[in-house]
Amino acid sequence: MPKLLSKAPAKKAASKSSSAKAIKRVFFFGNGKAEGMASAPTEKDRKLILGGKGAGLADMTSAGLPVPPGFTISVPCCEEYYRDGRKISDAVKKEVIENLAKVEKAMGKKLGDPNDPLLVSVRSGAARSMPGMMETILNLGLNDKSVEGLAARTGNPRFAYDAYRRFIQMYSTTAMGLSKEPMEHLLSGIKNKLGVKTDPEIPADSLKELCQQFKKFYSENMKGQEFPQNPLDQLWGAIGAVFGSWEADKAVTYRRVEKISDLTGTGVNVQTMVFGNKGDNSGTGVCFTRDPNSGANEFYGDYLINAQGEDVVAGIRTPLKLATLNDKMPKVYKQLMAVRKQLETHYKDMQDLEFTVEEEKLYMLQCRSGKRSPVAIFKIAVDLVKEKLLTKEQAIDRINPEDIERLFYPQLDAKTAAGATKLATGINAVPGAACGKVAFTAATAEAEAAKGEKVILVRKETSPEDVGGMHAAQGILTVTGGKTSHAAVVARGWGKCCIVGCEALDIASDNLSFKVGDKVVKAGDSITLDGNTGDVYVGSLPLKAPEQPEAFYTLMKWCDELRTLKVRTNADTPYDAVNAVKMGAEGIGLCRTEHMFFDTEERRLAIQEMIVAESVEKRKEALAKLLPFQRQDFVGIFKAMDGKPVTIRLIDPPLHEFTPKDDAGFQKLSQITGLSIEHIKHRCEQLHESNPMLGHRGCRLCITYPEILDMQVTAIIEGAIEVAKAGGKVFPEIMIPLTIDRKELEIQVIQTKALADKLIKAAGSKVKYMVGTMIEIPRAALLADKIAEVAEFFSFGTNDLTQMTLGLSRDDAGRFLPVYVASEKDGGKGIFKADPFQSLDQEGVGMLVKMGIQKGRSTRPGLKVGICGEHGGESASVKFCHAAGMNYVSCSPYRVPIARLAAAQAAIADKAAAKAKKK
Ligand code: PEP
Ligand code: MG
Whether residue 611 has pLDDT greater than 50: yes
pLDDT of residue 181: 86
pLDDT confidence band for 808 (50 / 70 / 90): very high
Catalogue the active-site residues: 486, 868
HEC letters along 726-754: CCCCCEEEEEECCCCCHHHHHHHHHHHHH
Alpha helices in 473-529 (DSSP H): 486-494
- Indicate whether residue 312 lines ligand 1 (CB < 6 A): no
Specify the amino acid at residue 268.
V
Distance in angstroms (rounded) separating the CA atoms of residues 34 and 552:
39
Please choose, from the candidates 179, 377, 227, the residue with its C-alpha nearest in 3D space to the C-alpha of residue 293: 377
Specify the amino acid at residue 840.
L
26 strand-pairing partners: 73
CA 712 to ligand 2 center in whole angstroms? 18
Whether residue 248 has pLDDT greater than 90: no
Burial of 843 (0-12, 13-18, 19+ CB in 10 A): exposed
The string of pLDDT tens digits covering residues 400-412 is 998 898 788 788 8
On the CB side of 234, how many CA atoms lie within 13 Å of its CA? 27
The string of pLDDT tens digits covering residues 222-241 is 999 999 999 999 999 999 99
Q: Sign of the CA dihedral 428, 431, 433, 435?
A: negative
Whether residue 337 has pLDDT greater than 80: yes
Mean pLDDT for 617-645 is 94
Residue to substitute in 462, 486, 590 for testing ligand 1 pocket (most ligand atoms within 8 angstroms of CB): 590
The string of pLDDT tens digits covering residues 768-782 is 999 999 999 999 999
Top pLDDT among 64 and 491 is at 64
Nearest CA to ligand 1 atom 3: 797
Q: Sign of the CA dihedral 781, 786, 790, 793?
A: positive
The string of pLDDT tens digits covering residues 844-855 is 999 999 999 999
CA 697 to ligand 2 center in whole angstroms? 10
Please choose, from the candidates 455, 422, 418, 419, the residue with its C-alpha nearest in 3D space to the C-alpha of residue 439: 455
Whether residue 133 has pLDDT greater than 70: no
Residue 798 CA, closest ligand 1 atom number: 3
- Indicate whether residue 592 lines ligand 1 (CB < 6 A): yes
Residue 570 CA, closest ligand 1 atom number: 5
CA 774 to ligand 1 center in whole angstroms? 9
304 strand-pairing partners: 284
Q: Give the pairing type, strands 26-30 and 120-126.
A: unpaired
Whether residue 316 has pLDDT greater than 70: no
CA 801 to ligand 1 center in whole angstroms? 8
Residue to substitute in 467, 868, 881, 891 for testing ligand 1 pocket (most ligand atoms within 8 angstroms of CB): 868
Alpha helices in 63-143 (DSSP H): 76-83, 90-107
Mean pLDDT for 70-79 is 96
SS3 for 175? helix
The string of pLDDT tens digits covering residues 849-907 is 999 999 999 999 999 999 999 999 999 999 999 999 999 999 999 899 999 999 999 99
CA 737 to ligand 2 center in whole angstroms? 7
Nearest CA to ligand 1 atom 1: 797
For the stretch 326-332, contacts whose Cβ atoms lie closer than 8 Å and that sit 24 or more positions apart, written own/partner, are 329/281, 329/283, 329/357, 329/360, 331/360, 332/357, 332/360, 332/361, 332/362
> How many angstroms separate the Cα of 711 from the Cα of each of 591, 620, 699?
16, 8, 14
- Indicate whether residue 800 lines ligand 1 (CB < 6 A): yes
Nearest CA to ligand 1 atom 10: 800
Nearest CA to ligand 1 atom 8: 799
The string of pLDDT tens digits covering residues 167-182 is 999 999 988 989 988 9
Contact partners, residue 124, CB within 8 Å, separation at least 6: 51, 53, 134, 135, 136, 242, 245, 246, 266, 267, 268, 269
Q: What is the pTM of this model?
A: 0.80
- Indicate whether residue 385 lines ligand 1 (CB < 6 A): no
The string of pLDDT tens digits covering residues 421-479 is 899 999 887 778 999 999 999 889 989 998 999 999 999 887 766 777 888 899 999 99
Percent of the chain with pLDDT over 90: 69
pLDDT of residue 1: 28
Please choose, from the candidates 600, 602, 607, 633, the residue with its C-alpha nearest in 3D space to the C-alpha of residue 622: 607
What mean pLDDT, rounded, does the chain reach?
90
DSSP count for the chain of H helices, then E strands: 36, 34
CA 892 to ligand 2 center in whole angstroms? 15
Determine the distance from the C-alpha atom of residue 526 to the mean position of all C-alpha atoms in its chain, rounded to a whole number: 26
Neighbours of 506 (CB within 10 A): 12
Q: Is the Cβ–Cβ distance between 246 and 265 less than 8 Å? A: yes
Mean pLDDT for 685-708 is 92
pLDDT of residue 494: 67
Of 19-33, 335-349, 358-372, 689-703, least confident by mean pLDDT is: 19-33
pLDDT of residue 110: 96
The string of pLDDT tens digits covering residues 548-581 is 889 999 999 999 999 999 999 999 988 899 999 9
SS3 for 668? helix
Mean pLDDT for 701-716 is 96
- Indicate whether residue 693 lines ligand 1 (CB < 6 A): no
pLDDT of residue 9: 37
